Structure 1
Amino acid sequence: MEACNVVRMRVRPGFEAEFLAFNDPGHPDIPGMLDAWLVQTGERDFCYVARWVSRDALVAGRGPMVAELDQMRHMLEDLGPGLGVTDPASGEIVSRKRTPVVPFRGEATGVGVASELGR
């Protein structure tokens, strides 16, 4: 069964450009990793999301992921008591919604979606 991990982090003020440059080429290939994304969720907040062929592959990939984290640890802000610089979560994917691609021409406000669907 496929698995996913999500790691929340916050970049220290003044390190945004360095952080984005470090992550620009993407992450190194790790056996069993299917996809990976870096999602900006706030001004300096990010989530790293990866999809794996299995939970075992995810567990085996933790070493390389931590090694990569160690290279950017100085750029990250402590998230608070007991967390350190990351807030990770992982598990097996138990549900997936697959939808057909619907053309979208509107902005983030959703303008254009209803007209695309004939509503």
Structure 2
Amino acid sequence: MAKYSNVVRFRVKQDCGAELETAFRDCPLFDGMLGQSLIKTDQRQYCAIGFWDSEDALVSARPAMIAFLDSIRDLLEEISPELGVTDAFSGPVLLRISQHNTVSGSG
């Protein structure tokens, strides 16, 4: 089970959604990343969720994640002057509830 997760919200520029989705599909997992989901929450808004071995793995992957962001930055719209083009959060995974009512977690 993933021990750490990050969530990033962003908004794509008009007519850039397909290109953004391809970039995520083609991006290999970063070292220490167990998996990733890309969710389309609105016509042009997305949320990416990463699952990690540990907080240290996420921290170590930040330079590679920033490089990936730089490669897609021109596809994204500014959310606000304070946030820029992403709204990111991260923290420990406390629970994972599966389809079969199995609950696992650290607390």
Q: How much is the aligned-residue C-alpha RMSD, in angstroms?
A: 1.6
Matched, 1:85 2:88: no
- The one-character-per-residue Cα deviations of 1:32-72 (angstroms, maximum 9, x if unpaired) are 10011111111000011000011111111111111001000
> Structure 1 counterpart of 2:79, which letter?
L
CA distance in 1, matches of 2:24, 2:56: 25
CA distance in 1, matches of 2:10, 2:71: 14
Alignment of 1:1-119 (within 5 A): 2-25=3-26, 27-100=27-100
Provide the secondary structure at the position in 2 that maps to 1:21: helix
**Structure 1: gaps (5+ residues):** 102-119
Aligned length: 100
CA distance in 2, matches of 1:98, 1:17: 30
Q: Percent identity?
A: 39
**Structure 2: gaps (5+ residues):** 102-107
> Structure 1 counterpart of 2:100, which letter?
P
> Structure 2 counterpart of 1:32, which letter?
G
Specify the structure having the higher radius of gyration (Cα).
1
> Structure 2 counterpart of 1:86, which letter?
T
> Structure 2 counterpart of 1:17, which letter?
A
> Structure 2 counterpart of 1:5, which letter?
N
CA distance in 2, matches of 1:20, 1:58: 22
Distance 1:29 1:20, change over 3 A: closer
8 Å contact 2:29–2:35 — kept in the other structure?
no
Structure with greater proportional strand content: 2
TM-score (normalised: structure 1)? 0.77
